[in-house]
Amino acid sequence: MSRLRSVPADPVDRAYLPLDEWRLVESRPHQDLGLTETLFATANGYLGMRGTPEEGRDAEIHGTFLNGFHETWQINHAESAFGFARTGQTMISVPDSSVLKLYVDDEPLLLSIADLEEYERWIDFREGVLHRELIWRTPAGKRVKVSSSRMVSFAQRHLALMTLRVEMLEGSAPIAISSQIINRQDFRDDYGKGVEGGPITDKADPRRTTDFTHRVLEPLQDWHSDRRMLLGYRVANSGMTLAVGADHAVESDAEVEQLVDTSADFGRQVVRAHLEEGQSLTVRKSVTYHSSRSVPHRELFDRCRRTLDRVRAGGFEAQFAEQRAYLADFWASSDVQLPGQPAEQQATRWCLFQLAQAAARSDQWGIPAKGVTGSGYEGHYFWDSEIYVVPFLTFTQPRWARNALRFRTNLLPKARERARELNQRGALFPWRTINGDEASAYYAAGTAQYHIDADVAYAFAQYVDVTGDLDFQHRDGVHVLVETARMWADLGFWRLTADGSASFHINGVTGPDEYTTVVNNNMFTNVMARYNLRRAARAVRELHEADETEYQAMLVELDLDELELEQWDACADGMHVAKDESLGIHLQEDRFLEREVWDLSSTPAEAFPLLLNYHPLVIYRFQVLKQADVVLALFLRGSEFTAEEKRADFEYYDPITTGDSSLSAVVQSIMAAEVGHQQAALDYFRAGLFVDLGNLHGNTSDGVHIASAGGVWNALVHGFGGMRHDDGLISFDPRLPDGWPELSFPLTLRGSRFRVRLVREEISFTLETGDEVEITVRGETVTVGPDGVTVPLADQGPLLDDAVLARPVGLGDERADGSIMTSHVPKDPEDPWEYPVASDPDDIIDES
């Protein structure tokens, strides 16, 4: 049985994080600082602030990030070759403005040592404001109530608001609040300790970020007035520019003194007062960040001033009200309801809130793998966005989805350059990037993942089908589809078979499973490329029918020969998708079955993830998967496969899938539900749902797993809700888990929003906004209107025994060449052993 299926029903540490369906609450300071800094991060897709304490200490990983704001550096290959990635890109931390240090009797508040009578920190997903309240008994015996808040605005993407209120409950004391802006990118602490040297790229975990040891943020100007500070910078190598500004407003019933100063890497406004018992002091801090690829910092200073002036004129309460309204709209079109499942409900809403924090105001930047909550994966954009996140946006927040896809359109010129560099026509999107250049230094698990082109095309096609946004298709989508289709037609080749027919093959690629690299005819790649080719030809023909003028302009702009469409059709129709008839499965790649099977059940827990404990060549010799590959293709292109094929494929690949990638569990859950492994579906769902709240992969401190959060929505809607979409047609075949009384969620289809409510005996649909829509439930077509419609259900689909998933299929069977398929674990060379010699294949399997 997969180790992902052993996740407890609620793996969250409730001693620190008590259950609340609409809030994430910390009832006492958590010992894992990095974890809570991620869980309580506040962000809007452009600006993100980790959940470090207002005092700035203690903290594991400080970080304030702007989407796309990065440094570049030369990738130094020990043995370079033509076409290797040359320019590394790393999202950097901008100056930290979250610091509001408190001193009482000149003693600093430090949570790690403070005598706290009361403590609570929380974020309500309907408010989008991080709050903290505590009562501190100082070493001198004074009792002080400290209340703070932090908000990154959705409505004003460049704006963050912070408050700190201090009230003397017992005693009197001098109070000082030091509001600061600190360049932590170049200075590791609050006291000016800097760094030297160059980028550090030799790190044990490739998922973590690069650390720089040269000065990254070059100061350009600092300025201050009585209540405002401005700092300006240029990034050393990338040339990007930045301005950060802060305003302060102070309220108190005691006399107050204020001091302000700035320097190249530091800004500070100090507020002093002597508070008697019952008196209070409040500091309100508004902060703004503006960045650019090239605009001079003086222009960015002006933008900062305008943002801060609006807050000064309108006040904080108006901003809080805008935030609540923004999130009310978000939840109306996104909230998935799980009555009777409080732990799952809280975690689901937390995941959906993270998707808002990652995508809402990315505004035509990409969606980084960690959003703007941490520096993991260096702030890069991957295929994750198009396959795991954009579907959620398409069905709930179409405008956000359009923005995410516009980012790919803007990358087309760089993608064309990359294709030419790899001797291909069309466009090849970089595997990981910020600025459009390929940043993956390891091509086998990076550039070789050509499937990213088809993933992008899939997202474009799905968006148009679901939203009906033909204007976007004709202006942007067709360009992406044409250039990606050209790449596939050029990359593949035709091969004649013994019976004289021909099939189209794609060699030398890597699929989603990064434990099986640079192979021929990866099944996921070929299936998705086939869809890409067909949708490109269709998009061109639809444009021809819709707008002859635009069509002719597109032919000229792309230098498109109409005969190319026939080529794409032929390549798609002839696409090679290999099957092994003896096992009845699709081959992940041509030679997959030639490998021995990795015995995951005998692999010690400390050996996972395999990529951190085994050389890639060791892993590549085995049938073992990092994440779903064939199974993902079955989900995305489900209409192309029979129910029998899906079950056979799932039951073969599931037992050899490690789940070392956080992307895997949610896909396994969806397909387990469809084929009938209902308990496995629920187990995998929990493994995806609690990836971060339960820190199941041990690296939540690096930032939220945004794609996994998107996968949670997919697992609920596609897996348990049974929703599928094909060419804009929406169908349902539900799989409500045993023990769940109800599942409810909204969907937006071509401008109409309707809510789906699933219980064991029936599924109902109610139109909330827009025109009536047609859907199908298990083959029955129904129309959804304001009065709603209900369809009775005989059952929740097939129910299969999960015992078959405990052991890989085919062990002990003969391959086509007569060899026996066996299973084992690579041994430590310090522990000599030999393969057993036995005449009975079962003996080989048992003993090895």
Contact between residue 222 and residue 297 where contact means Cβ atoms under 8 Å apart: no
User: What length is written for the chain?
Assistant: 848
Q: List CB contacts of 485: < 8 A, sequence separation 6 or more.
A: 426, 457, 532, 533, 536, 537, 564, 568
**What's phi and psi for 613, nearest 5 deg?**
-130, -5
Looking at residue 250, the DSSP 8-state letter turns out to be: E
User: How far apart are the C-alpha atoms of 380 and 292, rounded to whole Å?
Assistant: 18
Sign of CA dihedral 47, 40, 199, 243: positive
Give CA torsion, residues 78, 85, 663, 17, to 10 deg.
Answer: 80
**What's phi and psi for 345, nearest 5 deg?**
-65, -50
C-alpha distances (whole Å) from 198 to each of 185, 235, 721 are 13, 14, 51
- Edge-to-edge order in the sheet of strand 596-598: 622-623, 596-598, 823-824
User: How far apart are the C-alpha atoms of 666 and 680, rounded to whole Å?
Assistant: 11
Looking at residue 377, the DSSP 8-state letter turns out to be: G
Q: Which two tokens stand for residue 43?
A: 């962000």
**What's phi and psi for 254, nearest 5 deg?**
-120, 165
Q: Can the peptide bond before residue 174 be classed as cis, meaning omega within 30 degrees of 0?
A: no
Tally the C-alpha atoms within 13 A of residue 566's C-alpha that lie toward its C-beta: 3
User: How far apart are the C-alpha atoms of 839 and 848, rounded to whole Å?
Assistant: 14
Q: Are strands 762-769 and 241-252 parallel, antiparallel or unpaired?
A: unpaired
CA triple 475-476-481, angle to 5 deg: 120
Give DSSP secondary structure letters for 212-231.
E-S--EEEEEEEE-SSEEEE
Q: Which two tokens stand for residue 279?
A: 């008196």
User: How far apart are the C-alpha atoms of 753 and 397, rounded to whole Å?
Assistant: 11
Helix (H) or strand (E) holding 620: helix 616-620
Q: Can the peptide bond before residue 580 be classed as cis, meaning omega within 30 degrees of 0?
A: no
Contact between residue 472 and residue 402 where contact means Cβ atoms under 8 Å apart: yes
User: How far apart are the C-alpha atoms of 589 and 811, rounded to whole Å?
Assistant: 19
**Helix (H) and strand (E) counts in the chain:** 21, 35
Sign of CA dihedral 300, 302, 308, 314: negative
Contact between residue 405 and residue 390 where contact means Cβ atoms under 8 Å apart: yes
Of 71, 344, 514, 596, catalytic: 514
What residue spans of 422-494 are helical by DSSP H?
451-467, 470-472, 478-491
Q: List CB contacts of 91: < 8 A, sequence separation 6 or more.
A: 65, 67, 68, 69, 70, 209, 368, 375, 378, 379, 380, 434
Whether residue 514 lies in the annotated active site: yes
User: How far apart are the C-alpha atoms of 842 and 847, rounded to whole Å?
Assistant: 8
Contact between residue 276 and residue 254 where contact means Cβ atoms under 8 Å apart: yes
Contact between residue 648 and residue 585 where contact means Cβ atoms under 8 Å apart: yes
Looking at residue 573, the DSSP 8-state letter turns out to be: H
Catalytic residues: 514
